[in-house]
Structure 1
């Protein structure tokens, strides 16, 4: 296959996780640009919808999200804590999905936000994603609301290890564990057969023998109090909020919108379809992030 064909194939694969959407109106882009020009200290909140164009599916989008593609639900915090089998299943699937998940690259929206930060058009990015794509794109002031899949920690002591290094340890413990399917989930998990899971070996913490977990806030767990306080201060110091690619159905994200409105600050949302906070917005654009964000302040093309 020629290079052009390969690139088109990759593009199709990435777009398969983007929900159906209508073309964005040029007036909407202009309206959002004017909104941001008047608010140079805006705080940005991003959700899974900003990463679907990089090939990482979200959970809830109709027809293309994880819930529409599989009966399996995201890992629950208490299940992970209580069950050896659940931990083994999680790490087996995460191990298989990691090479693809960790090699995912930021898209035009991530790069645009990094540019906005350099141009001092935005204060910071708070992301609900665990994929580190904002950091890869060059954003410096990023708060990972739900943690990161790139760090592994012990549940019983202060031990921490880089996820790439942990992958090497898992590879040594599971040398024949390969050629499994690789349907990526938003947290790097994949679907694999049960026999892979049954034979998978996971290490204990080398310092205390405890269980190891990715530094991700699983469903049912709580965002660390200090992180919430830091974000609340960022909202207080901002002049508004821009939400990108989030339905805001998870309360930890919706709470940031409520905090913003409590301060009587404006909120703008770019998201395909409805969100939990549509009734609170000053600007709502139902569109793909990649059709909107990279075109903002792109004076070369105007």
Structure 2
């Protein structure tokens, strides 16, 4: 089996998008959104201002050249090798998940939630697994989490290979109880602020610690134990490389594009085919498409795709004000959302994380 990590073309046959000032970008995105009934597709770039690093930099390349994601078949392999992969994944995820859990929505999340509340954007599809779109939309009464489609799943839930589910916070407690030495280590990094860098999927790189994964214990599923079965094969409800998106989710993503009049894409290089095919589907249906992102993308060679090279956090609040007009001031929900959201992009630190690993 050969499965590769998605890449994007760094050489495009199209010219770079024209330079726009912030004011020009606000006007263009607002004009695109103003007719309403717009579907939005977001990626990791939307969560950068919340302090979560994107996978790729402004040149389209992985910011960590040694990035080696875990594949679905590795995580679910029941051999000793698969057990080792799960130890690696769950230790790194155990250390990285608190940062995802505690991260707050940023100004773009709340701007998009305001557009959803105002019914300009009835459909939002996200590749992100951090749950930040949901947290922003929670300020809007009457809007449901079903208004957001998580294309690649969510870190909020874990299930075993037999389908028994548990929320992630509870599973985090199980990991802590099974690994008290790592619990003490995590508490110390929290106390000192010497935390590892976290990827958008909650994974952290700990190679610099010089530690082995072999001592990390992945606990058995408690529901399986009640059924007199020992099973410690767990997976978060996210889509791993090499794993198929559930058919119901795929169908819903196509339907969301079909029912919209246009598609706005924000903060993604469209490197994963699950996202790129939604762009292709919209183009095939003759729907206008616009990409707001920094740097090259897989869509650069799609001539129907209009592109604006700019970070969403620079303009989305003003875009909402331009689209909604007086409503942005008079609607207390929208006004509250436009005053909400953090702006704390991750530090540009390239040095390896240093800490003393548990013995």
| TM class by smaller structure | 0.7 to 0.9
**Using the alignment, how far apart are the partners of 2:103 and 2:60 within structure 1?**
18
Render the CA deviation track for 1:54-92: whole Å, top value 9, x for unaligned. Answer: 111111224797x32351312111111221101000000
Q: Is the 8 A contact 2:59 2:295 kept in 1?
A: no
- For the pair 1:224 / 2:246, whether they are aligned, the reply is yes
Q: CA deviation at 1:28?
A: 2.0
**Using the alignment, how far apart are the partners of 1:228 and 1:284 within structure 2?**
25
- For the pair 1:147 / 2:158, whether they are aligned, the reply is no
SS state at 1:198 partner: coil
Render the CA deviation track for 1:74-113: whole Å, top value 9, x for unaligned. Answer: 2111111221101000000111111112101110000001
**Using the alignment, how far apart are the partners of 1:240 and 1:133 within structure 2?**
24
- Aligned Cα RMSD in Å? 2.1
State the aligned residue count: 278
SS state at 2:276 partner: helix
Query: Which of residues 8, 27, 35 is equivalent to 1:30?
Result: 27
Structure 1: give runs of 5+ residues left out of the alignment. Answer: 1-21
Query: Which of residues 173, 178, 187 is equivalent to 1:173?
Result: 178
SS state at 1:296 partner: helix
**Using the alignment, how far apart are the partners of 2:169 and 2:39 within structure 1?**
31
Q: CA deviation at 1:207?
A: 2.6
Q: CA deviation at 1:25?
A: 2.9
- For the pair 1:253 / 2:275, whether they are aligned, the reply is yes
Looking at CA atoms only, which structure, 1 or 2, has the larger radius of gyration? 2
**Using the alignment, how far apart are the partners of 1:31 and 1:163 within structure 2?**
40
Q: CA deviation at 1:136?
A: 0.9
Aligned to 2:219: 203
SS state at 1:294 partner: helix
- For the pair 1:190 / 2:204, whether they are aligned, the reply is yes
Instruction: Tell me: higher relative CO, structure 1 or 2? Use CA pairs within 8 A at least 6 residues apart.
Output: 2
**Using the alignment, how far apart are the partners of 1:84 and 1:107 within structure 2?**
37
Q: CA deviation at 1:282?
A: 4.7
Q: Is the 8 A contact 2:276 2:299 kept in 1?
A: yes
Structure 2: give runs of 5+ residues left out of the alignment. Answer: 1-18, 139-144, 190-194, 225-229, 330-359
Structure 1 runs (4+) greater than 4 angstroms displaced: 62-65, 299-302
Superposition TM-score, scaled by structure 2 size: 0.73
Matches within 5 A, 1:153-164: 153-155=159-161, 157-164=162-169
- For the pair 1:46 / 2:42, whether they are aligned, the reply is yes
Render the CA deviation track for 1:154-192: whole Å, top value 9, x for unaligned. Answer: 12x221100011111111111111146511011001122
Q: Is the 8 A contact 2:22 2:314 kept in 1?
A: no
Aligned to 2:260: 238
Q: CA deviation at 1:196?
A: 5.4
Aligned to 1:100: 99
Q: Is the 8 A contact 2:60 2:269 kept in 1?
A: no
**Using the alignment, how far apart are the partners of 2:148 and 2:220 within structure 1?**
31
